[in-house]
Every structure is written in structure tokens, then in C-alpha cells.
Structure 1
């Protein structure tokens, strides 16, 4: 899954926002940065380029992602870590960043409390999360194609998880419960450009947990072909472009 994720999804969906988030991080002039849910290192690389004097610890719960990320971006210190039980000392970082990872935390206030613990008193927490699925051109097209190909049986992963944490009021409440204060919530819309609809379809089908929902099915090959065909019919052949919206949050320790 990390290979498909890196090849088909990272350049299209994640690098544009990594550039945005890294620029925001660099403006804070951090010295020690902890990245949560670093995946294969899209934001990690952007951070090290935008803030070359900062030291970066990149962490992820998934061991395969840590292995892939450390091979692609060896300038960072990579560690496997659970965001809800961070293996780092108190007050060790002046910036904690997370790109499209908070939606996956089972207990967000618990994870945010860990962020607060490892931040310096003047530290900042910078992160983003996707907007509703309807505001993501490629994600919405994929989910529609999946539902048409599997009527009544399509996995709801995209809507429930990556696009399931979209209310800034809820984010602010979760942060407050962890002892953090929300500073800003900026809605950002960027364009995603893919080599083809088939490439994006392959990324979602094989580089996300949707793959696990299909792999045991006897008709998995037929479903994959149907999804790819429907996405191509909707988006067109050749290079394709779609808008995607996320919210970027900054928070701090109020003490």
C-alpha cells in the first residue's frame, strides 16, 4: 500500500498542501519540529526545504510508512510512534505538525493532549484536515464511481475517515479538551493535477484501506475496472485537474 500511495496519491493530493503547510511552518521559525502521521514523507521533505535549519523528527504509527519515508527522506529522524502515546520528553519541540493525519486518530483529544505535553510553552501545533468529500473533485468522483460499481455495498472509508472531521467548531472543542487553544482555521482550496483518471483510481483502490475491502471479493477485478472506466468517463482521458479543499489549523498552549 505505501508504494501505491506514494506513486499515485502523494504527488497529486498531498504535495500541493505540503508546500502550503511547510511555508506556514517556516514562517514560525522553528528549531525542533515533530511531525505526526508523516506517511511517506511528502510534508517532511517540504519542511526540510522550507526550514533548512530546523531539525525534524518524522513519526508514523505504521511501520511500513516509516520504512518507506526514511528511505525517501533520510534528512529527518524517523521513528515509529503512536500519536496518543508519544515516546518523547515533555517540552521537547517548539512546533508539532501533522498533514491529513488527525482524522485517523481514534481519540483526538488524547492525541492533542500529547501534542501539548511535548510542546514548549511558546510552541505551536500546525495541522490540516480535508473538507467534506463533496469539496474534493477526485475523491468525490471516485466515491461516486465506487457506489455505482457496488450499489449498496461500497466502502464508505473516504467519507467517514479522511473527510469525516470537517467542522472547525468540533476541532476547537477537541483542542480545548486537551488544553490547547485554537488560533486560526483557514480554508484552503488548491488544484490537483493527475496524469490520468486511471492513475487516481488506482491510487484510491490500492493505496488506501479501500483495497482491503475489495481484496477478498471474487469480483474485485471487475469492480476496479468499472471504477476506473466510470472515473475516466466523468473526468476525461489524459491529464485531469480537480479542485480540493482543506482547512489549516494553528493552535498553541495557552499557559
Structure 2
């Protein structure tokens, strides 16, 4: 993983939340919120909260006396998430590194992470740190994307970017968001971190948009793929987005577009 894969700054958070969240994240966020609520937690830690889509789904479902710490490594993403969330005394916002969480042992009943562990520079260390903050019967609930071939908009956009830069194809989407999908590897790394009861479920959903430009903008301008494109040629962002739009339209149609998205949902207990 490149260091730039973790950089969500400038206008990326706004594009991410406006375009990418409704495109691929909302349904999975609702699923995670349902799973967390089924565990009836009082103290919840959210790791790598991004622009707050899980926070918005989960907070209304929590008990009145709950304590909910929402964290992210990127302050820009956290600041954006706060602007989207109604004032809630149960929620504490804090910039935090998933590998060095600023909380005591056994502080939380549940730790939750939506599509964030792929960005951890050391996933086993991240799992150990999450486990440290959990009570002995606490749970880590998170999800990861499946291989990019099962996530069609992302796959088409990656191919479109490679068409523009054939000598140095931007591979952020395949490398990082969709680069950690081997179920046996995920389970083994969780066991190395001390988790013994692990459930993994694969979910397939539909990603829909009013037109082909929406997923093109979402991926090209609302993710660190933008950083890769601008590093290669700062004047080519609009061109890559246009090429991606045409490629999506060619495959899925000129009007409303629909494609497959697929991820794994993991619940792990010590």
C-alpha cells in the first residue's frame, strides 16, 4: 500500500460523501448498524469512520445512555463527518490511529470498522489493538470489499485509468480497497491477534446511479485514486473521469446504471 492510499484531503472528503457513500457504502453501513445493535452494546468504538456513514446509521439506534467514540486517522474526514451528524451528547469525535488507540483496555463492548482495515499498515497489530480495547466478551464487527472483479464500477474505472496511463496504471482501487479479500487470510490474521470465534458472511448488493458520470466522479475524484491520477498528470483528472464515464455507459447503459458490489462482513469474539 502506498502512503498516498491513506490521504483523504482537499476536496476528496466532500466528493467521497456526496458521490461514493450513496453509491456503495450506505447499504453496507445499515447492515453493520443492524449487526451492532443486535449485540446490545452500551460502549461503542468506531475505527476509521471516514465521512460518518456508519455513525449516521448507528447513532439513532443506540440506547439513550450509550457512549459512542467515533475515530478516524484523517482529521479532514472526521471534520466532514461531524458536519453531517446532528448534535448528540453520546458521541465523542476523536482523531486516532487504529494501531495506537488512545483508550484503556476493556473500554468498549463493540468495535466497528466499515471498509477500513484494508488501510491498516499492519492489520494484525490493528486487530490486536481493537481487541485490547474490548471487554472480554466484546466483539469486533467490520467489513471488507471482495475482489475488484466482483465490484463492477470500480473495475471499469480502474481499466479506464489504465487506458489513459498505460505505462503506469493507477491501481489504488485494486491494490487497497479491493486488495484484502481472502477469507482464509482474514480469519488467520484475526486468530493471530487473539480472536477465536470468527463469523464471515459474503454479501452481494446492487450499486445504482442516475447516470454513468456519478460512479466515474465518485471513484476518480472521491478516493485516493485522484492522488494517483494527479501525480501522473495534474491536468488529466477531468479526462480520466470522462473516459471512465464513457466506459461505464458503454457497459451499463446511457441512462440509470446498476452494477454488482460484493463484500465480506466479519464478526470476531475473543
TM bucket (normalised to shorter chain) is over 0.9
Residue 247 of structure 2 corresponds to which residue in structure 1? 230
Q: How does 1:198-237 map to 2 (within 5 A)?
A: 198-216=213-231, 217=233, 218-237=235-254
Residue from 86, 102, 118 that aligns with 2:117: 102
Q: Is the 8 A contact 2:147 2:178 kept in 1?
A: yes
CA distance in structure 1 between the aligned counterparts of 2:14 and 2:237, rounded to whole angstroms: 20
User: Larger deviation: 236-245 or 89-98?
Assistant: 236-245
Give the conservation status (yes or no) of the 8 Å contact 1:37–1:61: yes
Number of matched pairs: 253
Q: TM-score, normalised by structure 2?
A: 0.90
- Partners of 1:149 and 1:227 within 8 A in 2: no
Q: Which runs of 5+ in 1 are unaligned?
A: none
1:3 aligns with 2:14: yes
The residue aligned with 1:68 is 80
Residue aligning to 2:263? 246
Indicate if the aligned counterparts of 2:220 and 2:237 stay in contact, CA closer than 8 A: no
Looking at structure 1, the residues matched to 175 and 95 of structure 2 have their Cα atoms a distance apart, in angstroms, of 25
Match of 2:53 among 42, 54, 59: 42
Instruction: After TM superposition, give the deviation of residue 52 of structure 1 in Å.
Output: 4.2
1:141 CA displacement: 1.8
- Post-superposition Cα deviations, 1:14-50, rounded to whole Å, max 9, x if no partner, equal 0010011111111111111000000011011111123
Alpha-carbon distance in structure 1 between the residues aligned to 2:240 and 2:45? 40
1:64 counterpart SS class: helix
Contact 2:115 2:143 in 1 (8 A): yes
Deviates more, 1:135-144 or 1:210-219: 210-219
Q: Distance in 1 between matches of 2:240 and 2:135?
A: 50
Q: Does 1:20 align with 2:31?
A: yes
SS at match of 2:98: coil
> Deviations 1:136-190 (Å, cap 9, x if unpaired)?
1211121122223332422111111001111111111111121112420000111
Gaps of 5+ in 2: 1-11
Distance 1:70 1:97 in 2: 18
Mapped partners of 1:181, 1:139: distance in 2: 33
TM-score by length of 1: 0.95
Q: Give structure 1 regions of 4+ aligned residues with deviation exceeding 6 angstroms.
A: none
Distance 1:90 1:133, change over 3 A: same
Distance 1:163 1:142, change over 3 A: same
CA distance in 2 between partners of 1:58 and 1:33 (Å): 8
CA distance in 2, matches of 1:242, 1:86: 37
